[in-house]
Amino acid sequence: MVKAKRKPLEEIRDAIKSYKRVLTVGCGGCVSVCMAGGLKEVNTMNAELKQMFKEENIECSFDGFTVERQCNMEFLEDVADKVGKFDCLLSMACGAGVQYMSERYPDIPVFPAVNTVFIGVDKEIGVYEEKCRACGECVLGYTGGVCPVTRCAKGLFNGPCGGTNKGKCEVSSEVPCAWVTIYDRLKAQNRLDDILKIQQPMQWQNQVQRTIIQEPYKERYAKQD
Amino acid sequence: MKAGSNLEKILRAGHFAFTGELGPPRGCNVEHVREKAVPLKGMVDMVNITDNQTAMVRMSSWAAAIIALEEGLEPNYQMVCRDRNRLAMQADILGAYCHGLRNILCLSGDHQQFGDHPNAKGVYDIDSIQLINMVKNMRDEGKFAGGAEIDVPPKFFIGAAANPFGEPYEWRVHRLAKKVAAGADFIQTQCIYNMDLMREWIKQANDMGLTEKTYILAGVTPMKSLGMAKYMKNRVPGIDVPDEVINRLAGVDKKKQADEGIKIACEQIEEFKETKGIAGVHLMAIEWEHKVPEIAERAKVLPRPVMD
């Protein structure tokens, strides 16, 4: 899922301090799961902002509401009757949610309260690790389920490079070399042939904004000429 | 003098500048570059050497620029943000300067999907305005983008592009202002066909005092044919060809269309000579380099001033 991290409180303050009434909108989707922008985090952040604004003598009132997901117009309707009472919205959703919120309520400023960081996994409670960059051309089939786009610092398709150091990446002795991991896994599965052939340059699909329509819906959304 | 290039000297002396363009070949055909250079010599003050224009691979712009320099032209080394990151850009800037290049044009570059490697990864590590600023800081502060000092900084006369014909029109002059603030010493505009919009844009630039801070060269591309005009109108993003231009070309015999195109261009140049805030013309005679002497003659911009 998408993983996010709350922005520094000072940055949020600077964005919203000229507004008097702020509605913080949480999201019950991914950011709730990674504990960055769900119901609980809305309450925590509003409490922290109230405290900060009080100490700095900035006049501002905060309210909070969490919708099921901000990446869907239907759920965004749930704040329609509230938005008019506020001067700005502070969205705790991922970048997609913030943009959809801004699109639904174009007359009111919407500010992001979190940084959307990556698509990743839950390592421990509150600890997340990046696994996917949504490149749109998944190569995990021949790389033993290890993503070279995300996990190799150079994004190599024919690694490992010469910088591999005792199985670690040249950028950090803490980071395992993706290509050593790929090699080890494929070797164990007796599939090294998969990486013996030269992989040709990637045909990048993520260089323009993408839209997908799932196969069963193609007909429904076919463009009318 | 910031860089002491021929263009800078000409502009500072108050002459009306006249610059041209030369596209590098799709291969190692050096003779082709030299042939294209011949008709430009003595006809223009500076020649833009394009950088993988329309996202098609060509001989690198710095390399073709050095050949042009050997042929006695003053190159304007074009650099796009699409193909290289800030390390490569700065390295090329150092190298280009060492080989005698003195003008640089900082551009975003056409998106790779327009070219013949549509699924290449677009670099766009920095954008054109950031590139302008980086070259300026290299020159004036003697510093790399990363902050370290440069041992003998490159001193380029810094150019940027401007398109008065993209929406939102009223914002275009503010984008120009940002480029000037970032360090653009001169501006070359997109090909101009819509003179009404151009007049409005230059007026705004004058009102904002921008034309006192930078030299604006108006972009002119003579139409070779009615077909070209229609193609430019319908297919080329950011180019505005009014119907009156189409109609004028359509109104003459097919064999006379190129001549009519040059005539329109010359009329534009005559107007730009008299326009406050316009310091020269950038002639983009696309794959028409051999016509440049005729166009220069008919536009009455000859002889070109010779600077020390």
**DSSP secondary structure, chain A, as one string:** -EEEEEPPHHHHHHHHTT-SEEEEEEESSHHHHTTSSSHHHHHHHHHHHHHHHHHTT---EEEEEEES-TTSHHHHGGGHHHHTT-SEEEE-S-HHHHHHHHHHSTTS-EEE-EEEEEEEEEEETTEEEEEE---SS--TTTTTT--HHHHSTT--SS---TT-BTTEETTEEEEEPHHHHHHHHHHHTT-GGGGTSPPPPP----SS------GGGTTTTPPP-
Confidence of residue B284 (pLDDT cuts 50, 70, 90): very high
How confident is the model over A97-126, as a mean pLDDT?
A: 98
The number of domains in chain B is 1
Res. A15: pLDDT tops 80: yes
| A79 CB-side CA count, 13 A | 31
Q: Which helix (H) or strand (E) holds B12?
A: helix B6-12
Q: What is the CATH number of the domain that holds B266?
A: 3.20.20.220
The range of the structural domain enclosing residue B13 comes to: 6-298
Does the beta carbon of B121 lie under 8 angstroms from any beta carbon of chain A? yes
| pLDDT score for B167 | 87
Interface mutation target, options A135, A157, A203, A204, chain B, most CBs of B under 10 Å: A204
- pLDDT tens, residue by residue, B71-85: 999 999 999 999 999
pLDDT more than 90, % of chain B: 97
Confidence of residue A225 (pLDDT cuts 50, 70, 90): low
Does the beta carbon of B111 lie under 8 angstroms from any beta carbon of chain A? yes
| pLDDT score for A6 | 98
The complex's ipTM works out to: 0.87
* Residue B216 placed within a domain: yes
> Which residue of chain B comes nearest to A155, CA vs CA?
B121
pLDDT more than 70, % of chain B: 100
Q: What is the mean pLDDT of chain A?
A: 96
Contact yes or no for A208 and B120 at CB 8 A: no
Q: What are the chain A neighbours of B115 within 8 Å (beta carbons)? A: none
Number of C-beta neighbours around residue A70 at 10 A: 28
- pLDDT tens, residue by residue, B213-262: 999 999 999 999 999 999 999 988 889 999 999 999 999 999 999 999 99
> Which fold does the domain A2-118 belong to in CATH?
Rossmann fold (3.40.50)
Q: How far is A134 from chain B (nearest CA, A)?
A: 14
Does the beta carbon of B119 lie under 8 angstroms from any beta carbon of chain A? yes
Q: What are the chain A neighbours of B111 within 8 Å (beta carbons)? A: 207-208
| pLDDT score for A34 | 98
Q: What are the chain B neighbours of A202 within 8 Å (beta carbons)? A: 119, 121
> Which residue of chain A comes nearest to B82, CA vs CA?
A207
Query: A182, A143 in Cβ contact below 8 A?
Result: yes
- Spell out which chain A residues touch chain B, with contact meaning CB-CB distance below 8 angstroms: 202-205, 207-208
Res. B266: pLDDT tops 80: yes
Query: A65, A37 in Cβ contact below 8 A?
Result: no
Tokens of B271: 């107007």
| pLDDT score for B13 | 98
| pLDDT score for B308 | 82
Res. A97: pLDDT tops 70: yes
How confident is the model over A47-67, as a mean pLDDT?
A: 97
Q: What are the chain B neighbours of A207 within 8 Å (beta carbons)? A: 111-113, 119-122
Tokens of B80: 């796009």
Domain borders along chain A are 2-118, 133-195
* Residue B305 placed within a domain: no
- pLDDT tens, residue by residue, A173-215: 999 999 999 999 999 999 999 899 999 999 999 999 999 999 9
| pLDDT score for B237 | 83
CA atoms of A207 and B79, how far apart (whole Å) = 20
Nearest Cα residue to B221 out of B273, B284, B169, B275: B284
Does the beta carbon of B113 lie under 8 angstroms from any beta carbon of chain A? yes
What is the DSSP-derived secondary structure letter of residue B150?
P
Nearest Cα residue to B166 out of B92, B108, B114: B108
- pLDDT tens, residue by residue, B163-211: 999 889 999 999 999 999 999 999 999 999 999 999 999 999 999 999 9
Query: B261, B284 in Cβ contact below 8 A?
Result: no
Confidence of residue A224 (pLDDT cuts 50, 70, 90): low
Q: What share of chain B is helix, strand, coil (3-state, %, to 5)?
A: 45, 15, 40
CA atoms of B216 and B219, how far apart (whole Å) = 9
CA atoms of B40 and B20, how far apart (whole Å) = 7
* Residue B303 placed within a domain: no
Q: What are the chain A neighbours of B122 within 8 Å (beta carbons)? A: 207
* Distance linking the first and last C-alpha atoms of chain A: 37
Helix (H, G, I), strand (E, B) or coil at B101: coil
| pLDDT score for B287 | 86
How confident is the model over B150-164, as a mean pLDDT?
A: 97
How confident is the model over B7-11, as a mean pLDDT?
A: 98
Phi, psi of B14 (to 5 degrees): 85, 10
Q: How far is A123 from chain B (nearest CA, A)?
A: 31
CA atoms of B158 and B177, how far apart (whole Å) = 15
Contact yes or no for B111 and A204 at CB 8 A: no
Give every CB contact of residue B268 below 8 A, 6+ residues apart in sequence: B192, B195, B218, B220
